[in-house]
Structures are given as structure tokens and as C-alpha cells.
Chains A and B, each alone.
Chain A
Amino acid sequence: MKKGYFFMLDSFIAMSIILFSLILIFSFHTSKPYQMQGIFIADDIMDVFAGTRVEEIDNDFIYGLYTGSTNITNPKNSLAEQVAEFLITDREGLAQQFVKNITVRMVPEKYGFMIRVYNETKAWQFNISEGSVSQDEAKLIVSSKKILTGNINRTYYWGPMMAEVRIWQ
């Protein structure tokens, strides 16, 4: 009888050790999805911003800017280039509306989201979403940057300027 208790206790201890070791092994992990998601979002937004042409956007307001009017003279500009073009030709209001239309529901509400366009002398900022915390209190801030240049009406060259997409949480 006492031997039986002994063997049972022995096996119980052995199982505990094995279980504990397995828990210990699998509790170590190296991925940090918390940071990664922010980086991916920032990069993806920048890819859309800098890689998508104006004529590829399905939006009535933007479509009207190059069909019903001459506010946009080159619909083959990327979205970022078009925003920069509005800014350097003193059409900040139009740039604001343009950015608002292209960034609708782009980022989950828990993230703060901002776009900056700047050069050595001037900077413009578009605050798209406040997120769940302010930028100053954020635990994570990631940004993606791209250099922009362009030609207006073939003879007016502008740039280089920087476009920055900033995400925080």
C-alpha cells in the first residue's frame, strides 16, 4: 500500500515537471505584434498614398477635380504628389479636402493618424484621426516617409519634398 502511494507521488511529480518545462518552453516568444501592426499600417498607407494615381481613386469629389474643373491638371499624379502640388500652389483648403476624401476609414479608430508634407522651409500637417490617446501619451509612434518631386504644366518643377505618414497608439 505504501509503495503504491510512493509510485503515484513519483509519477505525479514527474508529470508536474514535464508540464512545467513545456509551459516554460512555450512561454518564450519573440514576435511583438503590437509594434508590427503599426509599422505595417504606416507602410501600407504610404504605399497607397505614394503609389496610387489620382485617376485610380473612385471618389466623386476627386473625380470632379479633374473632369468638371481644372483643379487637377494631371490625374496621373500620385495622391501624395497631388497633395504636394496643391500645397505649393497655395491651395491648402483643397489639399485638406483632398486628404480627407482619400483617407476615409483607412486606419482603425484606436490608432492616431497624421500626414505631414514638408521641405526645408515649410511644413503642412493633416491630422486625420486622434486615436485612443494623444501623440504625446502614445506608447508607440511609427512613421513612413517618401521623397516627392513633380512637374506642373511641364515647365514648373517642384521638390524635393517629404511626405510622412505617422501612426500612434
Chain B
Amino acid sequence: MAVKRGMFFSMIAIVMVMAIIALFVPNQEYVSLFGKVTTVKTRVGKANSFLVAVQKTMIQRALYNSGHYAVKAMVAYVNKTKQPIDLADFDEILLNGTVGGVELADMGISFMVGRGLAYRLEEISNMSARELRLDNTFTVNDVLIVQDNETGYKNFYVGVNLSVWVDADIATWNSTFVVLQVLDVEDYYDPYWIMNRDIYRGFYFANVSNWSTSLFYDFAGSLNYSYDGRAPSFLMRFENSSMGSECCGVETIMDPVAFGIDDEPWSYVDYCYFGRQCNGSKATDKSLWNITGISSVVEGENYYQFKLEVYHIDKYNLSVDRRVVQLP
């Protein structure tokens, strides 16, 4: 009887030990789940790293390059058509290299061939899907090209508002952000001059604070530009606008002989001459003046009959020689 009781208690002890073992040994599901945690962590890390790279570097570089060539294409378009181009068309040029649905390449303008931003985004998307197994979509919500107080007259912004969706199977990311790139006006020709005189002029900005006749002479002879809030900005020149831009207006001087410009009663500052404006500071006195040390009286000589109106005479600190035009 004692033996049977002993055996009975032993059996109970063994069952209890087996129950404890069963409770504390990790089951197959736990083992496989723990093994998956590292995989999940790596996958999430990869997708996150891809999205960060897209936001911080990839789009910036693609936008800089596509934006630069899109502006070059706009200048070429103006040269081809001798017509202004609406800045609202910039998004189409930037993304697809087209204007009004027409390929610029078909017009002989090849700057955007293989450089459209939409094409570049597609390449990045395809490569990440193929190599990183990350399904993704890029959506361009908005495109902008602008000059303001931040950029000043020497630069301008090109930007996109972009949405990115990434699917890593175990998680998805949805991000919307704006990317801006600063481009340099000095990298392009002046579309205003192309339209109005069929002449290619590059933007070279003078750095003069205290003007004199000799500095003005060098400035004009070097075909430089200077800031003026009454003049149109670089971007406004694409639209052949002669209106003023307080933040970003730029102007240049015209030697009538060098540029084959007819003698007309307008100040020989580009936006004044082409825009048929500026003369005089008063409604009753629209005088134009010859400039001492600049204007020539010899026909055919540089600056023959060169003239400016009062505002620019004061701006460049010049002395006047002879009044040329006086209109009521």
C-alpha cells in the first residue's frame, strides 16, 4: 500500500515537471516569430532609408538638373519662335519636355531629351522596385519657378511639391514634401533681348555701389547688368514684360551703334527702349539727355546719340551734356 502511494506521488511529480517544461519552452510559433523580427526590422529600415534618401538627395539632384535644362529649353524656345513664353508652361517643360503637348525635340530643341523630371522619377521608382523590392509611386502635385526677396535678382527657385508612396509589404509610407533648388541667372541668356533684338546676351552682373562716368562706361561696354526695381526680372523677361520687379529687376545699357538700334525718343536702357517707357520723371518734362563723357556726336562712333532720362542719369551719377528731346 505504501509502495502504491509512493508510485502515485512520483507520477504526480513527473506530470507536474512535464507541465512546467511545457510552459517555459518556447513553442515553434514563438521561435519562428522571433526569427522574423530581425527580418521585419531590416525591411522597415531599408524602406525608411530609401524614403530619407529620396527626400534629402535624390529629388534635389534630379530637380536641379531637370530644372536647369528646362530653363535652357525655354530660352531656346523663345529663340525659335521669337515669341514670349508663359511661365505657367514651365511645369510641362520641366516634367515632360513639351509645350502645349508638343515635344520640344520635334522643334529642334533637345535640352530636355532624357532629362524630364517625370522620366527621372520613373527611373528611380523602377530601380527601387526591382532591386529593393519596394513598390513605390511618385506624384508631382505642383511645380513652381519664382524669384522673390529670398532669391534676389541673381538667382531663382525651381521647386516641386511631391508625394511619395512606398510599400514594403509589411508597412507603407506616404509622404508629401516640397523640394526647392536655387538656380543662377548668370547661367542663361536674356530672353528679352532674343525676342526684341534677336541677340544672345548673357547675364553678367556688375558689382558697383558708387557710380561714376568711367564706371558707367565700363559697365555699359562690358554688357553688364545691374539691379533696378523698375526693371523686369529674369523670369519676367520670358514673358516679354517691361514692368518693374521690386525684388529682382535687372537692366542693361544699350549702345545704339553697337546694337544697331534706331535713334528713337526713348532712354537707352533696355526695358525703357523696348518697353517704350521711362522718359522723364515728370509728366510735363519727358526730357532725354546726352551724357557727358559717353554720348558721341560723331556718326558711326560708339554711343552716337546715346541718351538717358533723368532717373537713370541720377542713378548712375552722370553729368548731362545736351537735352535731346522734350515732349509736352
Contact = CB atoms under 8 A, between A and B. Distances in A.
Given A10-B10, A36-B38, A149 B21 contact: no
Contact of A155 (B13, B42, B68): B68
Interface of chain B: mostly helix, strand, loop or mixed: helix
Interface in B1-21: 6, 10, 13-14, 17-18, 20-21
Contacts of B123: 159-160
Contacts of B243: none
B169 to A, nearest CB: 16
Given A30-B26, A157-B115, A145 B38 contact: no
Interface stretch (B58-66, B81-89, B146-154, B156-164): B58-66
A156 B115 CA distance: 10
A43 B39 CA distance: 13
A150 B61 contact: yes
Given A160-B124, A162-B127, A147 B35 contact: no
Q: How many residues of B sit at the interface, in one of the four size bands?
A: 35 or more
Nearest to B128: A147
A134 interface: no
A44 to B, nearest CB: 12
B20 to A, nearest CB: 6
Interface string A1-34: 0000010001001100110010011001011100
Nearest to A47: B49
Given A36-B38, A147-B131, A149-B57, A25 B13 contact: no
Contacts of B259: none
A14 B24 contact: no
Given A147-B131, A157-B61, A17 B50 contact: no
Contact of B58 (A21, A36, A149): A149
Nearest to B42: A39
A149 B53 CA distance: 10
B34 interface: yes
Contact of B49 (A13, A18, A25, A146): A146
Contacts of A6: 6
Nearest to B124: A160
A140 to B, nearest CB: 14
B262 to A, nearest CB: 38
Contact of B64 (A21, A154, A160): A154
Contacts of B61: 149-151, 157, 159
Given A28-B25, A155-B68, A160-B124, A14 B13 contact: yes
Contact of A30 (B30, B58, B65): B30
Interface residues of A, number: 30
B215 interface: no
A21 B35 contact: no
Contacts of A147: 50, 53, 58, 124, 127-128, 131-132
B25 A155 contact: no
Contacts of A10: 6, 10
A162 B42 contact: no
Contact of B65 (A28, A157, A160): A157
Interface of B: 6, 10, 13-14, 17-18, 20-21, 24-26, 30-31, 34-35, 38, 42, 45, 49-50, 53, 57-58, 61-62, 64-66, 68-69, 115, 120, 123-124, 127-128, 131-132
13 contacts: A10-B6, A10-B10, A18-B17, A24-B21, A25-B21, A43-B45, A145-B131, A147-B50, A147-B53, A147-B58, A151-B61, A157-B120, A160-B124
